Chains A and B, each alone.
Chain A
């Protein structure tokens, strides 16, 4: 069952080949048996999952079911779930039970999806290896000595290990695409504002976007069909019509113009990864696409710009954690300032504190113009590069990550080395564009991701382009040994 697509599972549920309760129990059994080695879940929701599965079975019986009715999924632990702990991977929220559901959670519940639990993540989504989690690192199902990527490492590992049919995730600088690449699955970060941020714990509000981890573009399309759309409760939600993503999957891609930015194939890219990416691009040419060489001249500045903008927004967003209204509180505070300072120092891990301090510094008196304003100007130049590129091409392709998964602990003592993992993904967030990662030929048994970047609100085209490759090749079907 765990290798079936969402469309196949939905068809089986309609034919009563098995019930949603049986399917949910199957996944829960797999999680209990296999996840201790991976640590991809922070919280299991066995009781509420089985109750949701029973309701799904009734809806299926009544003929009142959608494509996701009864399908077991998982939520990244950054989405607020009513009555179920939402930790955001932090000691700060270890005991936090949200009083409401995030819009994305609410929409998937209304679609009949069954929530198996909450997945592990880098603390407050700050990290590229899932090692900053208060709940311990996640291990890569393809090689448990290696990281799964981050920050959505739990969602990526759980989907790759077939512990859920699909999962939600978020992407601020690459947190969907990079772990999807390192775990050999399909991940999509939609356009900024496409999915509501309401109830999604904020890291950097001008960059954060919810998206999907799945085993194929078709599965991701079923999820995104339910998740996308305008939400008046999110003041930056895009009021733009949502097309049917599943309907567009099979569109012809003959004549598709693929832009290859020279900056994404230069120094720092592992030559084996480059070859695997090239092999996929060759396949696209066989499918009738044309390749155009392009340049995104300001994209090498995306990492420096990001490490001003994201920490600045994070220092402001995380000011709400004060030890008073919710979250961790230190013992025996001697005064209010001591309460704030020790609650925050005890509740946040080292990476979160580093980013809060960088953000505080760049926003402090006298430095605003040199850092934040300068970064927002270069951010505009980066967005302009993409605008020019999309006058010539339909999609942009390149590697998602410069290397395959790296060993646990390898970059934890060097924050800047860790940040450079996201060198190919961050520009997309800065510009607000949608991006995907799909698995291509592995390198020495480890997955490699092809990144596909689209123009604003062109998620349907991205999913279509990804689906056509997955229709013609079998790379996305590979399963890690022991999790088949």
Chain B
């Protein structure tokens, strides 16, 4: 499987990563090598195999939908790069 620079640009956009134009060729080569490694999977016949959902076949636990944590907004926002009056600040999104 071989990816080119334009594939990397598409993937980087989906992943929201700003890849510098000078780096796309290098990433294309690295990602292609990794996908070549992954291609070893193609040799295995898996039509009849059930895919693993959980290594120990455990079911996801459920709990009542009730609040269990106290409100700690100010504490959590102390790590925010930019916050004001309890709000996270981002560039304008609505003109």
A341, closest chain B residue (CB): B18
> Which has the most chain A C-beta neighbours within 10 Å: B19, B46, B92?
B46
The interface residues of chain B lying within 8 Å CB-to-CB of A373 are 51
User: What is the predominant secondary structure among interface residues of chain B facing chain A?
Assistant: loop
The interface residues of chain A lying within 8 Å CB-to-CB of B37 are 303-304, 307, 416, 419
**Chain B interface, number of residues (Cβ within 8 angstroms):** 51
Q: Taking the nearest CB of chain A, how far is it from the CB of B37, in angstroms?
A: 5
A232 and B60 CA atoms in complex are apart in Å by 12
A371–B38 touching, CB < 8 Å:
yes
B91–A99 touching, CB < 8 Å:
no
Q: Is A96's beta carbon under 8 Å from chain B?
A: yes
List CB contacts (< 8 Å) of B13-45 with chain A: 14-20, 27, 30-31, 33-41, 44
A193 and B40 CA atoms in complex are apart in Å by 29
Pick the residue among B40, B49, B61, B75 that contacts A99 (CB under 8 A).
Answer: B75
Q: Taking the nearest CB of chain A, how far is it from the CB of B4, in angstroms?
A: 13
B11–A360 touching, CB < 8 Å:
yes
B88–A336 touching, CB < 8 Å:
no
The interface residues of chain A lying within 8 Å CB-to-CB of B82 are 329
The interface residues of chain B lying within 8 Å CB-to-CB of A371 are 38
Q: Taking the nearest CB of chain B, how far is it from the CB of A127, in angstroms?
A: 14
A376–B12 touching, CB < 8 Å:
no
Using known A-B contacts A325-B80, A329-B81, determine if residue A304 contacts B88 with beta carbons closer than 8 Å.
Answer: no
0/1 string, A115-158, CB within 8 A of B gives 1: 00000000000000000000000000000000000000000000
A377–B58 touching, CB < 8 Å:
no
0/1 string, A2-36, CB within 8 A of B gives 1: 00000000000000000000000000000000000
Q: Is B50's beta carbon under 8 Å from chain A?
A: yes
List CB contacts (< 8 Å) of A50-106 with chain B: 95-97, 99
Using known A-B contacts A307-B34, A307-B37, determine if residue A356 contacts B51 with beta carbons closer than 8 Å.
Answer: no
Pick the residue among B27, B38, B40, B52 that contacts A357 (CB under 8 A).
Answer: B27
The interface residues of chain B lying within 8 Å CB-to-CB of A327 are 79, 81
Q: Is A334's beta carbon under 8 Å from chain B?
A: yes
List CB contacts (< 8 Å) of A429-479 with chain B: 430-432, 456
A301–B12 touching, CB < 8 Å:
no
Using known A-B contacts A192-B55, A305-B41, A307-B38, determine if residue A377 contacts B17 with beta carbons closer than 8 Å.
Answer: no
Q: Is A299's beta carbon under 8 Å from chain B?
A: no
Using known A-B contacts A307-B37, A416-B37, determine if residue A381 contacts B51 with beta carbons closer than 8 Å.
Answer: no
A206, closest chain B residue (CB): B55
List CB contacts (< 8 Å) of B43-79 with chain A: 44, 46, 49-56, 58, 60-61, 63, 72, 75-76, 78-79
B88, closest chain A residue (CB): A324
Q: Taking the nearest CB of chain A, how far is it from the CB of B95, in angstroms?
A: 11
The interface residues of chain A lying within 8 Å CB-to-CB of B34 are 307, 354, 358, 415-416, 419
The interface residues of chain B lying within 8 Å CB-to-CB of A325 are 76, 79-80, 88
Q: Is A344's beta carbon under 8 Å from chain B?
A: yes
A358 and B44 CA atoms in complex are apart in Å by 21
Q: Is A345's beta carbon under 8 Å from chain B?
A: yes
B44, closest chain A residue (CB): A378
Q: Is A380's beta carbon under 8 Å from chain B?
A: yes
Q: Taking the nearest CB of chain B, how far is it from the CB of A423, in angstroms?
A: 11
List CB contacts (< 8 Å) of A408-426 with chain B: 414-416, 419
A99–B27 touching, CB < 8 Å:
no
0/1 string, A358-372, CB within 8 A of B gives 1: 111110100000010
B23, closest chain A residue (CB): A350
Q: Taking the nearest CB of chain A, how far is it from the CB of B53, in angstroms?
A: 8
Q: Taking the nearest CB of chain B, how far is it from the CB of A346, in angstroms?
A: 8
A375–B41 touching, CB < 8 Å:
yes
The interface residues of chain B lying within 8 Å CB-to-CB of A238 are 56, 58
Using known A-B contacts A307-B34, A335-B91, A381-B44, determine if residue A356 contacts B17 with beta carbons closer than 8 Å.
Answer: yes
Q: Is A374's beta carbon under 8 Å from chain B?
A: yes
Q: Is A337's beta carbon under 8 Å from chain B?
A: yes
A430–B88 touching, CB < 8 Å:
no
The interface residues of chain A lying within 8 Å CB-to-CB of B41 are 301, 304-305, 308, 374-375, 378
Using known A-B contacts A99-B72, A336-B91, determine if residue A364 contacts B14 with beta carbons closer than 8 Å.
Answer: yes
- Ordered by A's residue number, 25 sampled pairs between the chains whose C-beta atoms are within 8 Å are A193-B58, A232-B63, A300-B40, A301-B40, A304-B39, A325-B79, A333-B91, A335-B92, A336-B90, A338-B91, A344-B15, A344-B17, A353-B19, A353-B27, A354-B30, A357-B15, A358-B31, A358-B34, A360-B15, A377-B44, A377-B49, A378-B44, A415-B30, A415-B33, A456-B56
Residue numbers of A with Cβ under 8 A of B are 95-97, 99, 191-193, 206, 232, 235-236, 238, 298, 300-301, 303-305, 307-308, 315, 319, 322-329, 333-342, 344-345, 348, 353-354, 356-362, 364, 371, 373-381, 383, 414-416, 419, 430-432, 456
Contacts A324-B80, A354-B31, A376-B52 supplied; 16 other A-B pairs, CB < 8 Å? A191-B56, A206-B55, A298-B44, A308-B41, A329-B82, A342-B18, A353-B17, A356-B15, A357-B12, A357-B27, A359-B15, A360-B15, A374-B41, A375-B38, A379-B51, A383-B52
Q: Which 6 A-B pairs have the closest CB atoms?
A: A432-B55, A329-B81, A376-B51, A341-B18, A326-B79, A345-B18
